[in-house]
Amino acid sequence: MLQEKDLKGIYVPIITPFDEAFGLDAGSFYNHALELFQNEIHGLVVSGTTGESPTLTSEEVRELVATAQSAREAAQSAAPIVVGTGTNDTSASVRKTEQAGNLGADAALVVVPYYSRPSQQGIIEHFKRIAEVGVPVILYEIPQRTGVKLELHTVRTILELDGVIGMKDSTSDTSLVSELSRLGSKPVLCGDDALLYRALEAGAAGGMTASANVMTNRFGELFRQFSGGDLVQGRKTFEELLPLIRLLFQEPNPAPLKWLLAQSGVIASGTLRLPNVPITDGLQARLREFRV
């Protein structure tokens, strides 16, 4: 299982390929996961938002995790596999986390409960219950999607729980990671791709970076440059990636990613499940130069 000391580097929330009949395309998923592992990513996230987790059944998650494990073995990689298990129902989140553990997940990515907007104490209790399962938990803070923002005290309380090994920070700036770094904290991964370099400078241990589904080696290169102390080259690499990152989030994720991966032949189809829809012709034209 994933340990706190190993929560660092570039973790890729992998897309979930579907065929044109909206069924799971396990073959494309295997090929893409294999390529990601071969590019020496530091971790893979299955059934995250980038993987269209709200549309996946438990059986599909089971198949995806098993396929990712096969790809990891074929690539002779030791990168951990993290499974998204968070919901706005504590009991359901506990069950999903137990299921992830039974499937052999190395950790669970657990989002702050969304829509119901619980109190700060309610959120703490939510994470206490999930952490008791025994699968290492990564706290996921993304207030623009959950409708509630964690106070610093709440974040620190959750991070102090046994079984919580770190967090993904998708707030809109680097103030949280800066403050946690100053105070001393478990690892924080940046979840806003456009802020990745600034977050590393502020003390982040890496990124959970959807954009790294493409140009994966460049994101790994960026992290190696930064962690090796070559800050000038690291910033240059990031600035070269930034135009792509901005385009990938110009329309709702993961539609731009899936279009680009399909156009590049990495996956067979860019099919999305509703309510996600394909990207506009205008964005397609702008993304064509980035086909890999």
pLDDT tens, residue by residue, 231-264: 999 999 999 999 999 999 999 999 999 999 999 9
Is 139 contained in some domain? yes
Q: Is 70 exceeded by the pLDDT of residue 211?
A: yes
pLDDT tens, residue by residue, 3-59: 999 999 999 999 999 999 999 999 999 999 999 999 999 999 999 999 999 999 999
Is 141 contained in some domain? yes
pLDDT value at position 292? 59
pLDDT value at position 129? 98
Is 143 contained in some domain? yes
Is 289 contained in some domain? no
Helical residues (DSSP H) of the chain, grouped into ranges: 26-38, 58-74, 90-103, 120-131, 143-146, 152-159, 175-183, 196-202, 216-227, 231-248, 255-263, 281-287
Q: Is 90 exceeded by the pLDDT of residue 95?
A: yes
Q: Can you give 1-38 as a three-state secondary structure string? A: CCCHHHCCEEEEECCCCECCCCCECHHHHHHHHHHHHH
Which amino acids are annotated as binding site, given as ranges?
50, 208
Is 20 contained in some domain? yes
For residues 57-85, give the mean pLDDT: 98
Q: Is 80 exceeded by the pLDDT of residue 178?
A: yes
What is the DSSP code (8-state) at residue 278? P
Bridge partners for 18 per DSSP:
24
Residue 272, both tokens = 């999305």
Whole-prediction pTM value?
0.97
Q: Is 80 exceeded by the pLDDT of residue 146?
A: yes
Is 98 contained in some domain? yes
Is 184 contained in some domain? yes
Which residues are the active-site residues? 140, 168
> C-alpha distances in angstroms, 186 versus 120, 151, 161, 164, 244?
20, 16, 11, 9, 30
Is 251 contained in some domain? no
Rounded CA separation 199/44 (Å): 20
User: CB-based contacts of 210: which residues, under 8 Å, 6+ apart?
Assistant: 12, 13, 50, 193, 248, 253, 254, 257
Which of 244, 248, 251 has the alpha carbon at shortest distance from 289? Answer: 244
Per-position b or e across 277-290, b if 16+ CB within 10 A of its CB: eebeeebeeebeeb
The parent domain of residue 176 ranges over 4-231
Q: What is the mean pLDDT of the chain?
A: 97
Which of 205, 208, 215 has the alpha carbon at shortest distance from 241? Answer: 215
pLDDT value at position 122? 98
Sign of CA pseudo-dihedral 110, 111, 113, 118: positive
Which amino acids are annotated as binding site for pyruvate, given as ranges?
50, 208
For residues 261-283, give the mean pLDDT: 97
For residues 168-188, give the mean pLDDT: 97
Total domains, the chain: 1
* Residue 223 belongs to domain with CATH number: 3.20.20.70
